[in-house]
Amino acid sequence: MENLNRGGFSFDLCKRNDMIAKNGMKMPGFMKTGTTIVGVVYADGVVLGADTRATEGPIVADKDCEKIHYIADNIYCCGAGTAADTEYATALISSKLKLHRLATGKQVRVVTALTMLKQMLFKYQGHVSAALILGGIDITGPSLHTIYPHGSTDQLPFVTMGSGSLAAMAELEANFKPNMTKQEAITLVADAIKSGIFNDLGSGSNVNITVLTKEGVEVLKGYERPNERKYRSKPYIFKSGTTPILSEVRLPPLSSKVIIEDVPMEV
Amino acid sequence: MYRNQYDSDITTFSPSGRIHQIEYAMEAVKQGSAAVALKSKQYAVLVSLKRSSSELGSYQKKIFVVDDHIGIAISGLTADARVLCNYMRNECANYKYVYESDMRVERLVTKVADKSQVHTQRYGRRPYGVGLLVAGYDQTGAHIYQTCPSGNFYSYKSISIGARSQSAKTYLEKHFEAFEGCSLQELIVHGLRALRETIPNSDTGLTSKNVSIGIVGHDQPFKIIEDEHTAPYVTIIHPYRHILEMIDDEQAEPMQTN
């Protein structure tokens, strides 16, 4: 029997899943992030932004999830698509880059992270449903890339991904200009995310922002919270006497009628 | 006499119950240049002597980063050390990916020891000819471990391995009680003083070229201090070194007389 261990991804289980689905079984659903994610290059670096809603079909599964993932000290990645896929794809590449950094002794370049991610996603032929915005700053300067689930990439000065990408892109196309200041860039990104939050059902809750510069990274979690929940402050405690007592019955305590004793274990 | 009959194979015991090949592997560690490790409550420090093959050559790297919170100093076969270092880096990265937290130093050292032990029991494999001093800081504090080609590992307050390390050990035994409360600076100076004991008097002594320092602690990710950055520390233990160098330079130029 020839040894079929030639490497590469085995699609046998994908065929099996398709066959089962065709025979009528309901496939389990997965948590998608819905999502509006945005990236913008400005004078000194890159600003990344994301909303914080994770959906499971029509239900909001997580009201405050973290969509901007750490890849390296100078590289961060926003993820849209299946939550687990974006989480683990970025964590795996982050791990590989750590070893790469130790082996080379140099700061990681954004294009290295880009190449590792796109090669992994292409290998899985789009079955890993991760649409990513990769932003970072290295010796060649600030850069921003998009990575699609099938493995294609673009490099652009401003990008949006996710179900709210059209709403966010409208905002960016109207107001983007090159060489903005840090505050201008952050405000632009926040406006783009809010556009997604309010106009797309798959996006909602808060705006998370991460700023990457030569000096380091600035994580602004919850930069804007336009959907703050107001929790009920009145407790459900009623004054004694609110319920009228119609009649009373006094019962003897249970211990007067029941004896509790230890039974030794029999071997 | 008997030693020679039972020492050619890793899988052969001697009549006295020893495996000579393992002991020979430990000898390889003693051939490497000295490395010293010491710790306080908050910090762990590695100090090592770098050797170069000739005046023209570079000095062999002795201290390596394994993860943000762990580093190693090596003594013995450098190639074997590189392999173990890569293994440790992979294990730490994998642990961080799976458990999303830093690997505990003892766990990592146990893995290295287990890997080393395999090479003492399988036919056709030879033991790793390198001893490691592992310095790390985790949730349980600062740690110093020594690994051996035999597959054993030991936890220490301070230790030295390599050529003429006994002299360094004598210094450490005299001063180790003070280490617990030392600052990082004091710890490095103690390490350098211990290292200085291992140099024969005829040599040039500690210079910023042949000394390598590694530090890690509760607020300090593992960092290697090498070359010109070691100069401030080397000057502390040799306060008149720069004057001695000036005298040497003058003596090198013979006086011109007509």
Q: Hey, what domains does chain B have and what are their CATH numbers?
A: 20-251 (3.60.20.10)
Whether A219 maps to a domain, the answer reads yes
Q: Are the C-beta atoms of residues A173 and A18 closer than 8 Å to each other?
A: no
For B97, which of A91, A102, A103 is closest by C-beta distance?
A91
Chain B nearest-CA residue for A96: B93
- Residue A17 contacts B, CB cutoff 8 Å: no
Taking only the tens place, the pLDDT of each residue in A214-266 is 999 999 999 999 988 777 777 778 888 888 999 999 998 888 888 888 888 88
CB-CB under 8 Å, A92 with B96: no
pTM of the model: 0.78
A254 DSSP 8-state letter: G
**Number of A–B residue contacts, CB under 8 Å:** 18
d(CA B96, CA B102): 6
pLDDT-based confidence at residue B258 (cuts at 50, 70, 90): very low
Across B76-88, average pLDDT: 95
Mean pLDDT score of chain A, rounded to an integer?
91
CB-CB under 8 Å, B65 with A102: yes
If we measure between CA atoms, which residue out of A164, A184, A182, A179 comes closest to residue A78? Answer: A164
Taking only the tens place, the pLDDT of each residue in B6-33 is 888 888 899 999 999 999 999 999 999 9
Cβ partners under 8 Å of residue B189, min gap 6: B233, B236, B237
Q: Which residues of A touch B93 (CB under 8 A)?
A: 95-96, 98-99
Instruction: Report the greatest alpha carbon distance in chain B.
Output: 78
Whether A134 maps to a domain, the answer reads yes
Whether A266 maps to a domain, the answer reads no
Whether A145 maps to a domain, the answer reads yes
d(CA B14, CA B3): 7
Q: A55 catalytic, yes or no?
A: no
Q: Residue B220 burial by CB count (10 A; 0-12/13-18/19+): exposed, middle or buried?
A: middle
Q: Are the C-beta atoms of residues A170 and A36 closer than 8 Å to each other?
A: no
For residue B249, the model assigns a pLDDT of 64
- ipTM of this predicted complex? 0.74
Cα radius of gyration (chain A): 27
Distance (Å) of CA B169 to CA A50, A260, B211: 56, 68, 18
B161: which 2 tokens? Answer: 């391995």
Strands (E), chain B: 35-39, 43-49, 63-67, 70-76, 130-138, 141-147, 153-155, 158-161, 211-217, 220-225
Q: Residue A207 burial by CB count (10 A; 0-12/13-18/19+): exposed, middle or buried?
A: buried
Chain B nearest-CA residue for A98: B93
pLDDT-based confidence at residue A57 (cuts at 50, 70, 90): confident
Across A148-165, average pLDDT: 94
d(CA A123, CA B130): 39
- Residue A43 contacts B, CB cutoff 8 Å: no
Whether A260 maps to a domain, the answer reads no
Tokens 């042949």 found at? B210
For residue B1, the model assigns a pLDDT of 47
Chain A residues 97-126 within an 8 A CB cutoff of chain B = 98-99, 102-103
What is the number of domains present in chain A? 1
Whether A239 maps to a domain, the answer reads no
- Three-state DSSP class for residue B138: strand
Q: Find the chain B residues whose C-beta atoms sit closer than 8 A to any C-beta of A.
A: 65-66, 86, 89-90, 93-94, 96-97
Taking only the tens place, the pLDDT of each residue in B141-194 is 999 999 999 999 999 999 999 999 999 999 999 999 999 999 999 999 999 999
CB-CB under 8 Å, A102 with B89: yes
- Does B254 score more than 60 pLDDT? no
CB-CB under 8 Å, A95 with B94: yes
For residue A256, the model assigns a pLDDT of 84
- Three-state DSSP class for residue B47: strand
- Does B256 score more than 60 pLDDT? no
If we measure between CA atoms, which residue out of A161, A143, A152 comes closest to residue A49? Answer: A161
If we measure between CA atoms, which residue out of A90, A98, A46, A81 comes closest to residue A217? Answer: A46
For B90, which of A91, A94, A99 is closest by C-beta distance?
A99
Whether A18 maps to a domain, the answer reads no
d(CA B81, CA B73): 9
Whether A4 maps to a domain, the answer reads no
Domain that holds residue A177: 32-224
| CATH classification of the domain holding A119 | 3.60.20.10
